[in-house]
Structure 1
Amino acid sequence: MSSPQTGPGSEQQRGETQQAEQQAQAPEQQKQWAMTSAPETAALSGWTAFAGSLILLVGIFNVIDGLTAMFRADYYIVGAGQLLVFNFAAWGVIWLVLGVLQVATGVGCMYDKTWARTTGIVLAALGAIGHLAFLAAFPLWSLLVIALSVLVIYGLVVPSRPTAA
């Protein structure tokens, strides 16, 4: 039987050379691997979280307003004939729909969705305008919701900055 060749051009020597090259590169590859950073995830900015929770709260207020207007119209200060526009049943439906949309948008803002920021600005503006028209029926509540709507708009318009953990 013949033994394998162990000269300079043998397979065994080429294999050992390749293995030595890989071991020489290994620390460099490990260093490169250790130096790579994890993909950056966009952290939820404080203003977006604030505006999202606030629009969620305003949405719940509007749902309560809507249910109250539909089922207990005598709760408000003025009669249905003294409202600026519509009657209490119509306002109840408006507040209920607007409130449900605002709650959904608030949840979207908490997950930092772009569509939620845009929709939240529009819904907050509509809510503020609606409460301006509803001011005669429930003045303090309407002023409170208008002020909260302005805060929501501000919180959604402020550009989010990356936060450091």
Structure 2
Amino acid sequence: MVSAPETHTGKAQAATGLTMFAAVMMLITGFLNLLRGISAILRNAVYLKTPDYVFKFSLAGWGWVHLFLGIAAIMVGVGLFRVSLWARILGVVIASLLLIANFLSVPYFPLWSIVLMALCSFVIWGLCVVRREETPSGQGGQW
């Protein structure tokens, strides 16, 4: 028979595990977007050209968007290892922005965009699935 403290510890471990999963996925997504941004800025010949796309930017413009979002994702991903509330909130915001940016750039590099959209969705899921009562208690402002 499982006692209440062991169950609470199990829930706290699950919450920490999901946050660590989201942190690792955020770092991966950040590095992939960083590389995508650099490649679009330096050598945009690897991307498709879509003449009649509604959300048309220059490829270098998309490169800068992905570069800055990638840097932000890496910084928040590192912050997620502390399991703090601010990092979880920023993680959802940055992952949402990355998801939107990758959706809008699907015509330029379809497969890469879809893979990154899936990774961003996993990050958002990992950060939002844990309820407050399932997280470690007695840690002040942390979850």
Which 4+ residue blocks in structure 1 deviate beyond 6 angstroms? none
Identify the residue that residue 53 of structure 1 maps to in structure 2.
24
User: Does 2:103 correspond to 1:121?
Assistant: no
Q: Deviations over 1:18-37 (max 9, x none)?
A: xxxxxxxxxxxxxxxxxxxx
**Consecutive unaligned residues in structure 2, runs of 5 or more:** 1-11, 137-143
Cα deviation for residue 86 of structure 1 reads 1.1
Number of aligned residue pairs: give it: 122
SS of aligned partner of 2:73 = helix
Cα deviation for residue 113 of structure 1 reads 1.8
TM-score (norm 1): 0.68
> Which structure has the larger Rg?
1
Identify the residue that residue 123 of structure 2 maps to in structure 1.
152
Q: In the aligned structure 2, how far is the partner of 1:162 from the partner of 1:89?
A: 42
Corresponding letter in the other structure for 1:145? L
TM-score (norm 2): 0.78
Please tell me the root mean square deviation across aligned C-alpha atoms, in Å.
2.0
**Consecutive unaligned residues in structure 1, runs of 5 or more:** 1-41
User: Does 2:81 correspond to 1:110?
Assistant: yes
Q: In the aligned structure 1, how far is the partner of 2:94 from the partner of 2:49?
A: 26
Identify the residue that residue 62 of structure 1 maps to in structure 2.
33
More RCO (CA 8 Å, sep 6+): 2
Corresponding letter in the other structure for 2:111? L
Cα deviation for residue 59 of structure 1 reads 0.3
Q: In the aligned structure 2, how far is the partner of 1:133 from the partner of 1:82?
A: 13
Cα deviation for residue 119 of structure 1 reads 0.5
Q: In the aligned structure 1, how far is the partner of 2:18 from the partner of 2:119?
A: 14
Q: Deviations over 1:52-101 (max 9, x none)?
A: 0100100000100100110110011225x455321111111111110000
Q: In the aligned structure 2, how far is the partner of 1:105 from the partner of 1:89?
A: 24
Cα deviation for residue 145 of structure 1 reads 0.4
